[in-house]
Homo-oligomer: A and B are copies of this chain.
Amino acid sequence: MVNIDDALNMICKETKILGIENKDLLSSINRVLAEDIYSKDNLPPFNKSAMDGYAIKSNDTYNCSKENICELKIKGIIKAGDFLNGTLKNGEAYKIMTGAPVPKGADAVIEIEKVESKEDKLLIFEQVKENNNVIKFGEEIKIGDLAINKNNIIRPVEIGVLASLGYSSVKVYKAPTVALIVTGDELVDIKSNIKNGQIRNSNEYSLKALVTNLNAEALSLGIVSDDKEILKEKIKYALEKADIVITSGGASVGDYDFVKDTLKEIGADIKFSKIAIKPGKPVTFATFNEKLFFALPGNPSSLITSFENFVKPTIEKIMGKGNSNLEEFPVTLMDDFKGKPGRQKYVYVEIKRKDKDYYAYKVGSQCSNHLMTMSRANGIIIIPKEVGNAKAGEVFNGKFIFRK
């Protein structure tokens, strides 16, 4: 049995970027940039007006005030998208729209709300500073400047930056294909009525949702009955087609838990097969050539807990992301939670905040089959290995879960 940190380190050591792919700009959202983005232009590509107003020479306004009203001659109008070839001279003004190029000769824009105009006469009642309302050529970025660093997540604002720089596609880290194999003769399709001894195949759905929520590709191979030869064929097929293979069930010590045997037979390198975590102890991690193999427990909530703690960081690392599991913080227990020493325990709770402090309330049985409890939870508290029963009033680290 390995500790959680050792398990994570062993997995991390085997986890590598799969490569780089080109993505159409909008499909790259929430992926990670695999290239530095440089600007091929100066932005703005001209001195740009930040306001609707009048482009002027600021030195025409040095003595202007309400008492000493200045008068300029309006020569015309410059709309966004226009470009004036001439040069503005002293005594002249051009009406200018937000986003339009400030004409040569002009060095300031005075807002439309601050002036009066009569036919081609512009009246100014105050002094205007040089560069007022002018966004200078190249002020945002210059040709050759680094715009976005490699390894940044592409958020909506980066989509905007990339579009403004003329990138219609970008290089991102490849997402892994994750094969899913659900084992167990007791499993029936979710549309079936359950007969004696049967339960519905919820794990395949939980796993698909977990994988696709990370923007990875799920390749579901369905339910495999507890038959060693069939399982072996499925595992071999999965290792051929996918980058990561996940099995659920068949990972314990029972006579019909064939996953580990099969891994040995095909010559996979088994790194560990038990983790000191509750729920989710029977987790086997193995490698086969460059492929990663996780045999997860079949209990529905053990499955999700071990996915979140071990598979999710793996997929995120492959995709170039830091671990997005949320930050831990101290939480005060408001109920007693029974437990035994020996494994680190993840207890599903409702965490409420009051002022700056957080409190944890029981939401149901922590039995590892109870998806219902997990569904009522918004967080977990983490009870260390050494601790058995945890009592109301005690403080442990906790975190929120499943937040988007």
Contacts and interface: CB of A to CB of B under 8 A. Distances in A.
A383 interface: no
A200 B81 contact: no
Interface stretch (A10-18, A22-30, A229-237, A264-272): A22-30
Contacts of A256: 79-80, 97
Number of copies of this protein chain within its complex: 2
A365 B196 contact: no
A375 B184 contact: no
Nearest to A185: B81
Contacts of A341: none
Contact of A197 (B83, B161, B168, B212): B83
A95 interface: yes
B200 A164 contact: yes
Interface stretch (A118-126, A134-142, A288-296, A389-397): A134-142
A162 B135 CA distance: 55
A127 interface: no
Given A50-B368, A156-B402, A369-B140, A253 B164 contact: no
Interface stretch (A41-49, A58-66, A172-180, A332-340): A41-49
Contacts of A204: 163
A259 to B, nearest CB: 13
B26 A208 contact: yes
Given A191-B166, A255-B97, A161 B371 contact: yes
A372 B370 CA distance: 47
A98 B254 contact: yes
A100 B197 CA distance: 6
Identify whether the interface residues of A are mostly helix, strand, loop, or mixed. loop
A190 interface: yes
Contact of A166 (B147, B184, B200, B253): B200
Given A52-B253, A257-B52, A375 B157 contact: yes
A371 B164 contact: yes
A202 interface: yes
A81 B198 contact: yes
Contacts of A212: 26, 29
A140 B372 contact: yes
Given A98-B254, A155-B402, 15 more contacts: A45-B194, A45-B199, A81-B186, A81-B187, A83-B195, A135-B367, A147-B372, A155-B375, A157-B304, A160-B300, A164-B190, A164-B199, A166-B190, A166-B192, A166-B200
Closest 9 CB pairs between A and B? A81-B185, A160-B206, A52-B254, A81-B186, A83-B197, A83-B196, A163-B202, A164-B202, A163-B205
21 contacts: A25-B205, A26-B208, A30-B213, A41-B194, A44-B199, A46-B196, A50-B369, A52-B257, A79-B226, A81-B185, A83-B196, A98-B298, A112-B253, A160-B206, A160-B304, A160-B375, A162-B205, A163-B206, A164-B202, A167-B190, A404-B404
